[in-house]
Structure 1
Amino acid sequence: MREDLRYLLSTFTARDRFLLVMVVLAQFTSALLDLVGIAVVFPLMQALTGASLEGGILGRLYDVLGGGSRERFTIVLALIMILAFLAKAVLASIILWWSSGIVVRLQTTTSRRLLQHYLTEPYLRHRDRNVGEVISAVGQGAQMAHTSVLGGLLQVLSQAMSIGLIAVFLLVVAPLPTLAAIAYFAIVVFGLQRALAPANRKAGLEAQNAAWASSHALVDSLHGFRELTMHDAQGFFVDRFDVANVSQAQSARRANFLAMLPKSVLELTTMAAIALLVILSVATGSEAAALPTLSLFVAASIRILPSMVALTATLGTIKVGRAGLEVVVRALQEALTSGVDDQDPRTTAALPVTEAPIEVQQVGFRYPGAGRDVLRDVTLRIPNGSSLALAGPSGSGKTTLVNIILGLIPPTSGSVTYGDVPVRQSDQWWHDVVAYVPQDVYVADDTLAGNIAFGVPEDQRDDELVRRSADRALLGDLLAELPDGLETRVGERGSRLSGGQRQRVGIARALYRQPQVLVLDEATSALDNETEHRMTETIRSLHGEITTIIVAHRLSTVRHARQLAFLADGRVEAVGTFNEVVSASPRFARLVALGQLDLQEGPESA
């Protein structure tokens, strides 16, 4: 755990590490005030029992405080004790609020860094990642690493300093009893930690695994609502979530029990030690002389006992949080390896080229671990402002080719260029050039305007452009039905919209970006025939203005493209106009015949 903690600290800024050091120094000051309050007990009890005020430490303290009557001296000592404890209580409260604020801020910073890593990592890695894993690391993992481990260590240091200073003072006043007490409590605390460490470690791992499992089950059940309803599978998913949730709750129960168990043990052992001191004093007949020392030990015990309880409980909490720390450190190391930093992904550089053709040159691709290539030697050229339709049977590589053109995945061989500039996922300028509309459009739980101006803060939104984009995407009928028009909230994942309406929102979102390249991947598959026809006319009107790439199984969507590429078995079997591809590819001609399309209609007759 030491190496993991050191790595976590290395991810903090120099200022944050300095603040943590300042917290420790403030805690040391608080421990000194604690010591003053305890130290005053010894002379106070001496004064109360009639000890001589001349000579010795008590006499010097009497002179420093201005002398006077014994009653005055006793009252001054009592006031000093009260003020010391009061100042310590106030300072400790301030330190607790301050340090917890620092820890929480560091936690949120780490969570943000992890989420940014997950959202900017390579598409292939993201595609294979489990949602529950992400939720667990960003949420509970970060919380355990910072609150349980880092915050716990700060608490351990605070309690240890307080106990240590009081122990040093007791050594000076009564060396032998203090050494005996230190040995006694060291054995008790060490024994507790050795006995509880495996259970704490197990509870932490169980809590982390159960949190992942419950998040995974919850996400699956909510995303598959329609399917599980139609299959009457609600009980299955509820049971699956319940098993993980009960396991998580039981892990939390065990962790809380293990954290509180030392309190009972330490209270018992402390009271037993005090009782033993009293018995020894009475047995030796020195109870009167031993009263100041005995009172000091009782006062010290009253103060040290909560610290020892908190220290042992916090050590257990740290062990529970170790699993979360390991998860977070692995994720941070992965983020560092992948080159993710704290830069805002919205930051963009100047476009290196504009209004240029797209060149796909001898592109091949094989998914990691796959036995064969998905694409082989694909070469295409899409002039600026033109349109290319990609057609082919399922599994022919259309979507993979689109992902390569989008820069989401790098080709295994060959290249994609825009005006001789290579296209890569990390190129922010390319994201300003291209807009993408998938078949399953993601709709956020926001207003319709917020979904069209996707990712744009409300105060930076161009409302006129939002309205124009909505009109071009044929959302006028929908706007007329909505009570608040563009400001109507559409529900989580667009639950208040139909499939066709969600696709039109996706098209409006793409048009809002005013792209130079528009990629439509089955983006009209959920539209009715009339709306699809109108949308096709809208897309055709973009000719000369926006380079358009269209992927569709419904050939009526692609028949008017200026250029059509038919893919089969990962290769381009034919390229040309719609009718030229029909003539060149028997397989495409069969698809057309099955679709009962009129071969005479195409861009030539349009």
Structure 2
Amino acid sequence: MTTRNVENIDINLPNLIYALWKKLKEQRKMQIIFLFCFVLASAFSEVFSLGSVLPFLYVLINPIGLWNLTFFRNIFIFLGINNPNYLLLPMTVIFCLCIVFAAFFRLVTIWLNCRLSAAIGSDLSCEVFTRTIFQPYKYHLERNSSELIAAINIHIPQSIYSINLFFKLISNAIIASSIIIALLIINLKIALSLIIVFGFAYLLISIFIKNKLAANSLFAVNATQNQLSIIQESLGGIRDLIIDQNFNYYIKKFIKYDKPLRIRDLQNEFLGSFPKYALEALGMILIAVLGFLIKSLSPSTVNAIPLLGTIALGAQRLLPSLQQVFTSWSAIKAKQENLKKILDILDRQNYNKNFNLGYSEISFNKELRLSSISFKHLNQKKSIFENIHLTINKGECLGIIGTTGSGKSTFIDIVMGLLIGSQGYLKIDGLNLYSGKDSSRKIRAWMSKIAHVPQSIFLSDSTIAENIAFGIELNNIDYRKLKNAIEAAQLNDFIESLPNKYNTFVGERGVKLSGGQRQRIGIARAFYKNPQILILDEATSALDIRTERKIMEKVNCLSKDLTIIIIAHRHSTLKNCDRVIEINGGKIIKEGLPKDVLY
């Protein structure tokens, strides 16, 4: 699918709305069309309710005058009313019914607006989350996680609010137009006067405040994302923060963005609200002036009072609709950067909807081969690897050593398919994972054969069982495999000492566990997966020698077809490997038996 990056779209509301329209499902587009059809019905009900005011007031003041109008007299005779003295009750009923129907259509329109906005918001939220987590690993390395958190928790809700306001804007614009048409029919000169005064006032205000609203919108988006980063940093490092007593540093950073953000939010709220009170006062003054002129210029007010009452009611209906149009426009303008952020995420490249589909033809029966692999991160001139060649046979246990920062973990990321070499290729039994349109599917199929245990284990705030069977629904956990994995990772004694055994919650990021316990859960997770390739990246660094030895014995006793790659600083961890390589300066500088490389 060809996409157009929102960064290149002129940031005005019509372009943003059109860009959003293209992202909507066909079902949502049909629902929007239905909504606007209902809005038209609501507009007609407003016209009828306003049109019923004039004859109702005539009946109250001068029923004979209304009866003398041929149009109304024919209608009354058709309804079986032959005397003007009997008009009061039917006209009262008709007037009340028109008001009730108008109110009903308005309420249903508001409900449909909210319901449809929420549905579109849910679509956008799920799509943003899906597109983001399906991005390549390199994308996530180059961006802050606060961007996604801000998108889901801040930009999406604000965008839903903007969508709801847009529907309100269109609805009220249609209703206001219908009221204006009704007023023009009732009295052309007076209606034109009201339109010119109110229309010019709102237009003038809009021109003066639109740039301020846009500037506030941009500031709010950046400030909220910076606040999220500060919260993540301070809570993520709360242990060091408490020890070092650096509270004021983060508090000052938070206040730096928070106070101006609240001030600008208040500015936007004031700018959207203040015309209401000014123009309501102006409207009342115009009605008073109109009443004075009618009384001064007309000897009789019997016919003038119904007209004045109808115009007053029309203005009372018109002003809230015009104010809602203005308020919606100003609020959307103040939130437009949120919508722009969401559209920008939805337009990102490298998104593959088929990434989660398997690739049935891939197999690993012979070897994994890296040929002429080079790699460097974005915006970095120096390559981490240059022209790497390595073959790993199925069933082999390969050890990797190297100084800190030599690129061992990056090398593993390339082997797993998380990072793609800028040059060269990765082949599995002769199948090039980098070639073809289905490259991402082949890489995903390759990843499904791998279990990776890093030095820092990610644990969710759930039970030990759920963390070992990571990503599997609680009801679908295989407890036989779970117990075998727990035993192999030397977790038996620890879990048996817990009141809730493997149903014990570990806390956020495993905060209730020691570093060694977290590592053993990570190792148990790898055993549970029953992989074809097991990668241990400093996976036993937090364990004591005795526990590490027992785990490595379990690893060495696994199937001879299991391919194992171990990164470790302890030479004792690698002594039973079939082969050891040493990486330094982006190259493999040593390769051979453990006794030849380690000692």
TM-score normalised by L of structure 1: 0.91
- The reply on whether 1:49 has 2:65 as its aligned counterpart is no
Q: Distance in 1 between matches of 2:513 and 2:85?
A: 83
Name the counterpart of 2:392: 382
Letter of the 1:176 partner, please give it. K
Structure-2 change in CA distance of 1:190 and 1:9 (3 Å): same
Deviations 1:362-389 (A, max 9, x none): 3222223323322223222222122111
Name the counterpart of 1:597: none
Q: Is the Cα–Cα contact under 8 Å of residues 461 and 505 in structure 2 kept in the other structure? A: yes
Aligned equivalent of 1:115, options 129, 137, 157: 129
Q: Distance in 2 between matches of 1:11 and 1:462?
A: 40
Name the counterpart of 1:461: 477
Structure-2 change in CA distance of 1:299 and 1:369 (3 Å): closer
Q: Is the Cα–Cα contact under 8 Å of residues 39 and 171 in structure 2 kept in the other structure? A: yes
Name the counterpart of 1:563: 579
Letter of the 1:28 partner, please give it. L
Q: Distance in 2 between matches of 1:545 and 1:234?
A: 53
Name the counterpart of 2:211: 198
Structure 2 SS opposite 1:519: strand
Aligned equivalent of 1:553, options 541, 564, 569: 569
Name the counterpart of 2:402: 392
Name the counterpart of 1:133: 147
- The reply on whether 1:521 has 2:521 as its aligned counterpart is no
Letter of the 2:97 partner, please give it. L
Name the counterpart of 1:338: 350
Name the counterpart of 1:85: 99
Letter of the 2:127 partner, please give it. R
Q: Distance in 2 between matches of 1:200 and 1:65?
A: 55
Aligned-residue Cα RMSD (Å) equals: 1.9
Give the deviation of 1:71 after TM superposition. 4.9
Alignment of 1:51-450 (within 5 A): 51-148=65-162, 150-285=163-298, 286-334=300-348, 337-341=349-353, 346-350=356-360, 352-423=362-433, 426=441, 427-450=443-466
Q: Distance in 1 between matches of 2:489 and 2:134?
A: 29
Give the deviation of 1:23 after TM superposition. 0.7
Number of matched pairs: 578
Structure 2 SS opposite 1:287: coil
Q: Distance in 1 between matches of 2:34 and 2:482?
A: 50
Deviations 1:467-515 (A, max 9, x none): 2212211111221122211111111111111111111111111222211
Q: Is the Cα–Cα contact under 8 Å of residues 387 and 543 in structure 1 kept in the other structure? A: no
Name the counterpart of 1:14: 26
Give the deviation of 1:222 after TM superposition. 0.9
Give the deviation of 1:558 after TM superposition. 1.5
Unpaired runs of 5+ residues, structure 1, are 583-588, 590-606
Q: Distance in 2 between matches of 1:43 and 1:410?
A: 78
Letter of the 2:49 partner, please give it. G
Q: Is the Cα–Cα contact under 8 Å of residues 58 and 303 in structure 2 kept in the other structure? A: no
Unpaired runs of 5+ residues, structure 2, are 1-11, 435-439
Q: Distance in 2 between matches of 1:486 and 1:266?
A: 67
Q: Distance in 2 between matches of 1:546 and 1:71?
A: 100
Deviations 1:347-373 (A, max 9, x none): 434352144421122322222332332
TM-score normalised by L of structure 2: 0.92
Q: Distance in 1 between matches of 2:91 and 2:175?
A: 21
Q: Distance in 2 between matches of 1:482 and 1:241?
A: 40
Q: Is the Cα–Cα contact under 8 Å of residues 266 and 308 in structure 1 kept in the other structure? A: no
Give the deviation of 1:289 after TM superposition. 2.3
Structure-2 change in CA distance of 1:346 and 1:177 (3 Å): same
Q: Is the Cα–Cα contact under 8 Å of residues 118 and 160 in structure 2 kept in the other structure? A: yes
Name the counterpart of 1:601: none
Q: Distance in 2 between matches of 1:129 and 1:511?
A: 31
Structure-2 change in CA distance of 1:248 and 1:64 (3 Å): farther
Give the deviation of 1:324 after TM superposition. 1.0
Runs of 4+ in 1 over 6 A off after TM superposition: none
Letter of the 1:41 partner, please give it. V
